Amino acid sequence: MTTTYRAVQAIYPGRLELVERQAPAPGDGEVLLDVEACGVCGADAADIERAGASPGRPRVPGHEVVGRIAALGPGVSSMWSVGQRVGVGRLGGHCGACAQCRQGLFNLCASQPVVGATCDGGYAEMMLARGTGLVSIPPELDSHEAAPILCAGIATFNALRKCGAEAGDLVAVLGIGGLGHMAVQYARRMGFKVVAAGRGPDIAQEALGLGAHVYIDTATEPLAEALAAMGGAQAIIATIGDAAVVAAAMAGLAARGKMMLLGICPDALPIVSSHLVGGERAVAGSLTGSPHETERALRFSVLADALPSVETMPLDRAEEAYRRMRSGEAKFRMVLTMDRADGPAGPA
């Protein structure tokens, strides 16, 4: 095993640097991973932009991590073995002892690390991870394909599973980006009539190609009115963080329809209570998923051929990949690989 590894750390707001660190040893309940791929997610921005706010050494971002187990610490379940390919998402592993864990609500564990925020993430050749946070990666998926499913995939997969819609119902996906392009694929393959809603005409053909039955340009057509004309949406999967846009879309829900929130809105979400009460409509949040649920999302992705569209870059170009993600130019996910060769970004 090598004694050092390369890592990209956030040194101060918005800036990343490539460094070499000493290889760590896994502690109780931990594994050491040889990272193969790590997705660059929109949620990384919060971690990178607040770099330097806390004391201690700079944090390594990244929470869509796929790698192979290099070493096992004491107390790790016998289901994991050295050389096994596994993944780690945003939620770094449940404690098993809090009130939520005792109810089996492992994704809501009150005492788990947030990968890339409260513990080092996967913008690195090596990473420590809690054994309870690991998921098995299907052999049919390449590491760069599996990585975005560990966050964007499971987040949208679970939101659709929890939204209350049934096969044949109208489901709208608001925002066709890293999350939305997975939501459209999953919704189509789950048997829903899918409306993709984005801003501008440039994404229309891509949305339809991903499986949407209808594309609505919210820059020119009010989404709520368009949905109401179709009988109303049984669910709206909101992947964006614009409170005003999300609130306006609620008028397009059918009776007993549900707005599923995935994007974090920095502003308060204005809600018309009479609209909710009168039609028994609901607003709910959805927080990624447990390791078991993530494995279900991975298996479904294989069975339904619902895969992320990714562009890959080597680790030493992490800051460039991050800037490309932030600019919205990526179609649709950026993924870092541990290759050392420099080269142009491109679809994998």
- The CATH number of the domain where 16 resides is what? 3.90.180.10
Residue 265's pLDDT band, with cuts at 50, 70 and 90, is: confident
Within this chain, do residues 164 and 132 fall inside the same structural domain, yes or no?
no
First to last CA, the chain: 29
By CB atoms closer than 10 A (0-12, 13-18, 19+), residue 25 is: exposed
- The secondary structure of the chain, three-state, reads CCCEEEEEEEEECCEEEEEEEECCCCCCCEEEEEEEEEEECCCHHHHHHCCCCCCCCCECCCCCEEEEEEEECCCCCCCCCCCCEEEECCECCCCCCCHHHHCCCHHHCCCCCEECCCECCCCECEEEEEHHHCEECCCCCCHHHHHHHHHHHHHHHHHHHHCCCCCCCEEEEECCCCCHHHHHHHHHHCCCEEEEEECCHHHHHHHHHHCCCEEEECCCCCHHHHHHHCCCEEEEEECCCCHHHHHHHHHHEEEEEEEEECCCCCCCCCCCHHHHHHHCCEEEECCCCCHHHHHHHHHHHHHHCCCCCEEEEEHHHHHHHHHHHHHCCCCCEEEEECCCCCCCCEEC
Q: Are residues 160 and 232 in the same domain?
A: yes
At residue 126, does pLDDT exceed 70? yes
> Residue 342: its pLDDT value, please?
53
Residues 111 and 21 placed together within one structural domain of the fold: yes
Predicted confidence (pLDDT) at residue 347 exceeds the cutoff of 60: no
How high is the pLDDT of residue 57? 75
- pLDDT tens-digit map of 276-306: 999 999 999 998 999 999 999 999 999 999 9
Q: Does 103 have pLDDT greater than 90?
A: yes
- The whole-chain average pLDDT of the chain stands at 93
- Together in a domain, 340 and 211: no
Domain of 38, in residue numbers: 4-141+307-347
Mean pLDDT of 222-227: 96
Residues 167 and 274 in one domain: yes
Taking residues 209-213, report their average pLDDT: 97
Confidence bin at 11 (pLDDT 50/70/90)? confident
Question: Are residues 39 and 136 both part of a single domain?
Answer: yes
Region 3-13 average pLDDT: 92
pLDDT tens for 40-83 read 998 898 889 887 656 667 899 999 999 999 999 999 999 999 99
Report yes or no: 4 and 21 within 8 Å, Cβ to Cβ.
yes
Query: pLDDT category, 97, cuts 50, 70, 90?
Result: very high
| Co-location of 218 and 100 in the same domain | no
Residue 341 has pLDDT above 90, yes or no: no
| Mean local confidence (pLDDT), 195-215 | 95
Residue 329 confidence (pLDDT): 83
Reply yes or no on whether the pLDDT at 1 is more than 90: no
Q: What is the mean pLDDT of residues 20-38?
A: 97
Same domain flag for 195 and 249: yes
pTM, to two decimals: 0.93
